[in-house]
A and B are shown apart, each in its own frame.
Chain A
Amino acid sequence: MKNYRLLIYIHLLILFVHSNNVNGQSVSESGIVITGTVLSKDKKVALSGASVKIIGTNVGTQTDADGKFSIKLNNKSQSLQVTYIGFEPSVIDLKNADHDGNITVWLHSFERTLEAVTVSTGYQNLPKERVSGSFENVNNKTINQRVTSTVKSRLEGLTTIAFDKGNARPQMVIRGISSINGSNAPLIILNGFPFEGDFDRINPDDIQDITILKDAAASSIWGTRAGNGVIVVTTKKASFNQPLNVSLNSNVTFIQKPDLFYLDQMTPSEYIDVEKFLFSKGYYNSQENNKYARPFLTPVVELLIKQRDGLINNADELIDSYRNQSARKSYQDLIYKTGFIQQHTVNLKGGDTKGNYFLSAGYIGMDDEFGAINNRITINSDANYRFNTKFKMNSGISYIQRNLRSGAPTFQSKNSIYPYFRLNNSDGRDAGIPLYRKPYLDTAGAGKLLDWNYYPNSDYRHSVTKQNGQNLIARIGLQYDLFKGFSIQGNYQYERQDDQISVLNDIYSITTRNLINKFTIVDAQSGNVKYNLPFGAIGDESNGSMQTHNARIQLNYNLNAKDFVVNAIGGFEVRSILSKNNSFRNYGYDPDVLTISKVDYVNPYPTFVNGTNEYIPFLSSLGETSNRYVSTYLNAGVTYLEKYILTASGRRDASNLFGVNTNDKWQPLWSVGGAWIVTNENFFSWSALLSLKLRATYGYSGNVDLSRSAVTAIQYLPLPSSYTGYLMAYVSQFANPDLRWEKNRIINFGIDFNLKNNIATGSIEAYFKKGSDLYGATPIDQTAGVGETIVKNVANMKGHGVELNITSNIINRAVKWSNTVIFSYNKSKVTNYYLSADIGSSYINSGTSIKPLVGYPVYSIFTYKYAGLDDIGNPQGYIEDKTSTNYTSILGTGTKVKDLEYGGSAVPQYFGSFINTVRWRGWTISANIGYKFGYSFIKPSINYSSLFAGIIQSSDYANRWQQPGDEKHTDIPAMIYPAVSARETFYNSSASLVRKGDHIRLSYVNLSYDFNQTFLKSLGINQFRIYTSVSNLGILWRKNKDGIDPDFIAGQIPPGKAFSVGIQTNF
């Protein structure tokens, strides 16, 4: 707490005390110092990196991040020339300077849409033309294209970042994956420091711009954590000399119910047929006779049992009445609803010559399709203050409060709901699913037990998870200009995230009723009841907190000589991340009066159903992790004659990586780069090309995973043994002294261009990545006693790709039509695998995991070759090139790695989007079309082992082999009994289920109207816009013929269409 109170104090001080003016002009013996600000006339934003020269001399300087400059003149009769790329140069007659020597220079841009682009590495802001690396800038306009509640989703389809909806793979990938088994998430930098909290909690309306650092020259400054790319997020700030400005953004969104019928499932009637078939085979006998577990049997099976025992004679009629019932339909109608989101953000900013401030408050309220409620309040502030021309201070505080209340579970997550279940009975009351066999429950406990049915329609209202989270970030930075372009700065940031999760299962929830019943003893003779668990709710609480401290001291050097511009930084950094968590459970919990009951955790009690002695679950745990990093870094760029640019950076990181000697903890990473601005050459005189820059970089980034160890490490279990009371520990890390850090080399080439009249502007990049010593899970002899796979440095990989981002103005008259093309191509392959394994089955891959095979992408699809069905409907594979149905052998030694069939990359190799925008008067309409090509997926089909176990399968069931001759037109195996799991595994991992994922989708369409500015001005309003947006519009074209959206396979459902409407204004 103490850490940030001080900052708040300082922060407020800055906000309110900055009116105290300090004279900006100082007269020294030899001349006068002029200070000024360079601003863009159109955007009213400060221009950083503009060149300021005294006409007729070689004396010059450059504006800083705030557009400020300071220059020493011999006398006031001299003039200044201010130039900035993309803007008309301006000559300033200093007679116009106000009496204290402060001037404001307004520059007009050549092209109204060309913006001065500043890229941020998190350590420094640089004008884009001075960098050689691959920086992708996402401006504020782009961030506001989508109406969504997270920053992450605002980047989707608008950048070269690959988004993956699959559950198993990393969700956000920059330039293909760089690590086989390590962390794959990009590093998020928020206002100069790594953000460790939940990225989704940041209010996107507070974001000014985002820079994506893609190559080593851009990212190596972030060292070992930058191996997967870096996303630098900068929140909005005010400028000096800016009048008070208030802006408001407010919108509402409605989201359609997701379509459960997208799930590919066999019909309830088919499922009933399977149950009848299994019953005829005696499949349910062991369950029916299981007096020890009394497993639940579906109503159809119970009817069949009654029919067999001669207890009823209308079973068929009753069973047929179930055939038209659909759990899906029932769930969709009763549980799902239209989602609603509202977002409001208001911010104000202003500043004078000494200080400026920005304040914003945002609210997001979500009431989703499952009835979950998610609210978020964000407060963000930023302030800058200049004590004098040399000493500057920046500080910021942001606070996020998020509250979440759970709704219903997804349909897919509730396996216990059988396909012909209806959530309510004809009388409207909730229908239940017994946890044990119904005939058993009808008499069990002689009425002394609680209801032992699960009611899907209402249970979620009795089992509520509440999650409250708070994030606090407080930062302060001080900068002091030393001399001759040197300045020193110190920055500190404190970040804290606290989360409280409480799960309350009240007495009506099945969780609580089940546990109470389980520990109830009913004496068979006397009928006496003993409840070993108190009547009342069960409350599970867990608390987590994470605190990070970041401190940095940095020396900057900026030189503006006649021919040279030098920007260099060097610094030292310390970071620590401390996470703590604890959780516990209360029985007999009354949340209203906060009372709990004692239970006996020490003695086991006989459980109701089978009498086995069990202990009452004791759930308490404590945890603490601490990661520490120490780093030194250096980054320098030299621009010669405004044409040639040379950059270099280096960094060493050390961490408390467990089991590594301190000396080995340091990891050096570096990069070099060069660029050539061709259009600045005298010989270049092609007027059609306004600017052209060629650039190339080379460098290394790394990756570290703190969970890998070089020594044997043991981990204590949080609780002692319930049997013995002794403390227990297990070997959690197997000694591997050869463990090394993963390393990535990236070579990048880029071209930035801008055609005359802005016809087209953009960049084209090509890169080559090489990863060595990558962590990977490799199969290990189970006899070694460390499991089936072990993670070590196992492989090298190579990747290359092309990225293209071009915006062209196709029509630029009264109607304006512009088009942005974003295209990414990425190919990666494993080049070396240190271990050789021969057995094919270890490398079967549906694309959800990484099993390195030399020459193939890291996420590949590998299947067994498929030879169709034989004449009795069995799927056939190959052993030594002959068709075979010996599945044990195919899955075992019969299939070598070379016998597998490569099904393609599991991640798109070509992807991107087209964004078309048409403007006419105040109207703007834009549409985003996304595409993904060059990849495959495995279509889920039918697994009879799972089907017999009660898990509903694909509608492929209807097209299965049923009689001889069917093998000519179907690949779907016959249903045989008993199911042979090896046969099922073979078929579901066979080439017959590989499908192409290529598709094109319409991501969103936006329509907005900006009110006439002159009209607004008369009302004192700068801008007023009304906008609407429709997103999740679905697929326009797909290659697969199965109606599958390749972004949503295996139990995932595409989100419903979202309709938004909102206003945005500032005054």
Chain B
Amino acid sequence: MRISLYLKYNYLTFLLLLCLTTGCKKYLDEKPRKNLTVPSTLKDLQALLDENNTMNIGQANVSDAGTDDYYLTMEDWNSLENDGDRNSYIWGDELFYNSPNNQWQILYKQVYTANVVLEFVDKVQPGEDMVTRNKIKAAALFLRARAHFTVLMTWAKAYSSNSASNDPGIPLRLLSDFNIPSKRSSIEQCYDQILTDLTTSISIFPVVKEHVMRPSKAAAWALIARVYLNKADYVNSLKAAEESLKLNDNLMDFNTIDSSSTYPIPRFNSEILFSCSGGWRTLYNFTAKIDTVLFRMYEDNDLRKSLFYATNENGTKAFRGSYDGSFDFFLGLATDEIYLIKAECQVRLGNIESGLQTLNQLLVKRYKSGTYINKSGLDKVVALQTIINERRKELLMRDIRWQDIKRLNIDNSLQPITIKRIIGTNTYELKPNDPRYALPIPTVVISLTGISQNPR
């Protein structure tokens, strides 16, 4: 009796343990957090690209801090809290020390997210929905290219066909593995990679109408136009601009905009191709005073003169024309820029009249109804200067001016640009093609990667 009892108990215990252990695997497969998941659907990937805080808000515009579109008073410059903010105004050394607005990091975070999406996009839900899959892939390629291009424009020299294959560009990160060491590719390689990403994007981008915070085919063409423009490849730039305008050539008539709002230009307006925004302390309208030369360039009938500017108590001008409809700056792509690219390329390629016609298409919407006089019959240099001036007047505070100064100084077809800063008794000057046009890479990046710092 004892033995049978013994066996019975042991058997029971054994059975119980067996049941429990076989149930373990399933029991342990429960996710620790409900909202946590390994990307496994196209929806998951789309959600990563739709994360506005990384992809659209708080974008980089530190290069604008060094442009001639604005100035600061000595008192205001002194009262800036971060050394990095003060440095950004006088093309100094460290920009992001102690700063919550580390724009290098912001841009590469986007690259990382885009890389994660590109690594998963062909693996998830095999066979499902090619249109959505292509759209996500194209959007990720666009976002990676846009971030890389912004870094390139900010932290590398201007493109010069003679030296681009030797000039240090930026680290291109094409995989999400953070253990891969960063190294600087040449400027030529950087342009190649950015254009490869963008042309691949174009080739698969379905044309769908979506919120402008999502990339689109028109936005991708627009970015290609901007990239080629900075590479001085006007043929390809023109072609891309025309392709973009085929998909979206809307222009707002500024006569219809109510100027009484603090920020009159509506957010997500019909000109916007891709919406993103950001800020930098020195540029905010409560300290940044608009360059008087720039402001004087507007004619009296130009509606931008009132829609883009507010007057401070002492008569100086503050910017309020952000396409973001707020004190933050619009840093995306819009049709007005594409018209201007198209016009510039046409003029550069010798089609001066068509170039001026393109410009007229834009400007007629910017002047009081019936007051705009069509431009024509200008010689090439004047036509070019006119378009460049219009770029300043239309595209200020959009992280474009710095690129323009760099390429125009290389290009030399117009008067080279020197920027001057006066703070009290100190004067600072940035001569054409100064090495400081490539901003200093954060010291911590230099020390952890060993990549070369931009010369000062």
A is bound by B: yes
Decide yes or no whether B80 CB sits under 8 A from chain A. yes
In whole Å, how far is A607's beta carbon from the nearest beta carbon of chain B?
Answer: 9
In whole Å, how far is B24's beta carbon from the nearest beta carbon of chain A?
Answer: 5
Decide yes or no whether A281 CB sits under 8 A from chain B. yes
Decide yes or no whether A744 CB sits under 8 A from chain B. no
Decide yes or no whether A641 CB sits under 8 A from chain B. no
Cβ contacts under 8 Å, B176 to chain A: 712, 735, 785
Say whether B93 contacts A888, CB under 8 Å.
yes
Say whether A785 contacts B24, CB under 8 Å.
no
Distance of A667 Cα from B47 Cα, bound (Å): 35
Say whether A985 contacts B173, CB under 8 Å.
no
Distance of A728 Cα from B50 Cα, bound (Å): 5
In whole Å, how far is A900's beta carbon from the nearest beta carbon of chain B?
Answer: 15
Decide yes or no whether A259 CB sits under 8 A from chain B. no
Which of A36-44, A287-295, A594-602 lies on the face that meets chain B?
A: A287-295
Say whether B173 contacts A626, CB under 8 Å.
no
Decide yes or no whether B227 CB sits under 8 A from chain A. no
Distance of A284 Cα from B173 Cα, bound (Å): 43
Say whether B173 contacts A783, CB under 8 Å.
yes
Given contacts A283-B75, A627-B32, A628-B30, contact A839 B46 (CB under 8 A): no
Cβ contacts under 8 Å, A282 to chain B: 73-76, 78-79
Distance of A730 Cα from B45 Cα, bound (Å): 9
Closest Cβ neighbor of B260 among chain A residues: A524
Most buried by A among B9, B24, B31, B448: B448
Decide yes or no whether B161 CB sits under 8 A from chain A. no
Decide yes or no whether A334 CB sits under 8 A from chain B. no
Decide yes or no whether B108 CB sits under 8 A from chain A. yes
Given contacts A285-B76, A289-B312, A977-B78, contact A724 B112 (CB under 8 A): no
Say whether A785 contacts B173, CB under 8 Å.
yes
Task: Give the residue of B43, B46, B262, B443 whose beta carbon is less than 8 angstroms from that of A610.
Answer: B262
Cβ contacts under 8 Å, A727 to chain B: 43, 46-47, 50
Decide yes or no whether A718 CB sits under 8 A from chain B. yes
Cβ contacts under 8 Å, A289 to chain B: 286, 312-313
Decide yes or no whether B81 CB sits under 8 A from chain A. yes
In whole Å, how far is A313's beta carbon from the nearest beta carbon of chain B?
Answer: 23
Say whether A656 contacts B28, CB under 8 Å.
yes
Given contacts A655-B28, A712-B38, contact A981 B104 (CB under 8 A): no
Cβ contacts under 8 Å, B29 to chain A: 656, 662
Decide yes or no whether B407 CB sits under 8 A from chain A. no
Distance of A553 Cα from B14 Cα, bound (Å): 11
Say whether B34 contacts A625, CB under 8 Å.
yes
Closest Cβ neighbor of B94 among chain A residues: A888
Say whether A734 contacts B51, CB under 8 Å.
no
Decide yes or no whether B97 CB sits under 8 A from chain A. yes
In whole Å, how far is A196's beta carbon from the nearest beta carbon of chain B?
Answer: 14
Task: Give the residue of A290, A482, A658, A714 whose beta carbon is less than 8 angstroms from that of B39.
Answer: A714
Say whether A286 contacts B76, CB under 8 Å.
yes
Say whether A730 contacts B54, CB under 8 Å.
yes
In whole Å, how far is B132's beta carbon from the nearest beta carbon of chain A?
Answer: 13
In whole Å, how far is B88's beta carbon from the nearest beta carbon of chain A?
Answer: 14
Q: Encode contact with A along B75-93: 1 for CB under 8 Å, 0 otherwise.
A: 1101111110010000001
Say whether B52 contacts A723, CB under 8 Å.
yes
Distance of A338 Cα from B66 Cα, bound (Å): 58
Cβ contacts under 8 Å, B39 to chain A: 712, 714
> Within B54-72, which residues are at the interface with A (CB < 8 Å)?
54, 56
Cβ contacts under 8 Å, A657 to chain B: 32
Say whether A553 contacts B448, CB under 8 Å.
no
Say whether A783 contacts B28, CB under 8 Å.
no
Task: Give the residue of A625, A656, A723 whose beta carbon is less than 8 angstroms from that of B211.
Answer: A723
Say whether B76 contacts A662, CB under 8 Å.
no
Closest Cβ neighbor of A977 among chain B residues: B78
In whole Å, how far is A416's beta carbon from the nearest beta carbon of chain B?
Answer: 18
Say whether B447 contacts A706, CB under 8 Å.
no
Cβ contacts under 8 Å, B17 to chain A: 553, 572
Say whether A724 contacts B214, CB under 8 Å.
yes
Task: Give the residue of A553, A733, A786 whose beta carbon is less than 8 angstroms from that of B16.
Answer: A553
Q: Encode contact with B along A713-726: 1 for CB under 8 Å, 0 otherwise.
A: 11111100101111
Cβ contacts under 8 Å, B111 to chain A: 785
> Within B9-34, which residues are at the interface with A (CB < 8 Å)?
9, 13, 16-17, 20-21, 24-25, 27-34
Cβ contacts under 8 Å, A893 to chain B: 443, 446-447
Say whether B97 contacts A981, CB under 8 Å.
yes
Task: Give the residue of A483, A734, A782, A978 whose beta carbon is less than 8 angstroms from that of B80.
Answer: A978
Closest Cβ neighbor of A614 among chain B residues: B326
Decide yes or no whether A654 CB sits under 8 A from chain B. yes
Cβ contacts under 8 Å, A714 to chain B: 36-39, 44, 47-48
Distance of A840 Cα from B73 Cα, bound (Å): 36
Decide yes or no whether A320 CB sits under 8 A from chain B. no
Q: Encode contact with A along B435-447: 1 for CB under 8 Å, 0 otherwise.
A: 0000000111111
> Within A12-26, which residues are at the interface with B (CB < 8 Å)?
none
Say whether A654 contacts B446, CB under 8 Å.
no
Cβ contacts under 8 Å, A281 to chain B: 75, 78-79
Say whether B75 contacts A786, CB under 8 Å.
no
Cβ contacts under 8 Å, B76 to chain A: 282, 285-286
Distance of A948 Cα from B75 Cα, bound (Å): 14
> Within A848-869, which residues are at the interface with B (CB < 8 Å)?
none
Decide yes or no whether A623 CB sits under 8 A from chain B. yes
Say whether B325 contacts A613, CB under 8 Å.
yes
Closest Cβ neighbor of A629 among chain B residues: B28
Closest Cβ neighbor of B286 among chain A residues: A290
Task: Give the residue of A483, A782, A788, A980 whose beta carbon is less than 8 angstroms from that of B83.
Answer: A980
Distance of A892 Cα from B446 Cα, bound (Å): 10
Decide yes or no whether B348 CB sits under 8 A from chain A. no
Say whether B28 contacts A787, CB under 8 Å.
no
Say whether A729 contacts B24, CB under 8 Å.
no
Say whether A716 contacts B47, CB under 8 Å.
yes
Cβ contacts under 8 Å, B6 to chain A: 482-483
Closest Cβ neighbor of A578 among chain B residues: B30
Say whether A630 contacts B27, CB under 8 Å.
yes
> Within A960-987, which residues are at the interface with B (CB < 8 Å)?
977-978, 980-982, 985
> Within B303-339, which residues are at the interface with A (CB < 8 Å)?
310, 312-313, 325-327
Say whether B104 contacts A842, CB under 8 Å.
no
In whole Å, how far is A450's beta carbon from the nearest beta carbon of chain B?
Answer: 21
Decide yes or no whether A88 CB sits under 8 A from chain B. no
Cβ contacts under 8 Å, A665 to chain B: 28
Decide yes or no whether A7 CB sits under 8 A from chain B. no
Say whether B13 contacts A842, CB under 8 Å.
no
Given contacts A729-B44, A729-B51, contact A782 B442 (CB under 8 A): yes
Cβ contacts under 8 Å, B50 to chain A: 721, 724, 726-729
Decide yes or no whether B263 CB sits under 8 A from chain A. yes
Q: Encode contact with B along A658-678: 1 for CB under 8 Å, 0 otherwise.
A: 110010010000000000000
Say whether A785 contacts B47, CB under 8 Å.
no
> Within B248-292, which residues are at the interface with A (CB < 8 Å)?
261-263, 267-268, 284-287
Cβ contacts under 8 Å, A656 to chain B: 27-32
Cβ contacts under 8 Å, A726 to chain B: 46-47, 50, 211, 214
Q: Encode contact with A along B97-109: 1 for CB under 8 Å, 0 otherwise.
A: 1100010110011
30 A/B residue pairs, CB under 8 Å, sorted by A: A281-B79, A282-B74, A283-B79, A284-B79, A285-B76, A291-B310, A611-B262, A624-B34, A625-B32, A630-B27, A655-B28, A656-B32, A658-B32, A662-B24, A711-B38, A712-B38, A712-B116, A715-B35, A721-B50, A721-B213, A727-B46, A730-B54, A781-B449, A782-B442, A787-B105, A888-B443, A893-B447, A948-B81, A978-B80, A981-B82
Other A-B contacts than A726-B214, A839-B444, 9 sampled, CB-CB below 8 A, are A284-B79, A286-B286, A289-B313, A572-B16, A630-B20, A783-B104, A838-B447, A892-B444, A893-B446
Considering the complex of A and B, which 3 residue pairs feature the smallest CB-CB distances, nearest first?
A785-B112, A282-B75, A611-B262
Residues of chain A at the chain B interface (Cβ within 8 Å): 281-287, 289-293, 482-483, 488, 553, 555, 572, 574, 576, 606, 610-613, 623-628, 630, 654-659, 662, 665, 706, 711-718, 721, 723-735, 779-788, 790, 837-839, 841-842, 888, 891-893, 945, 948-949, 977-978, 980-982, 985
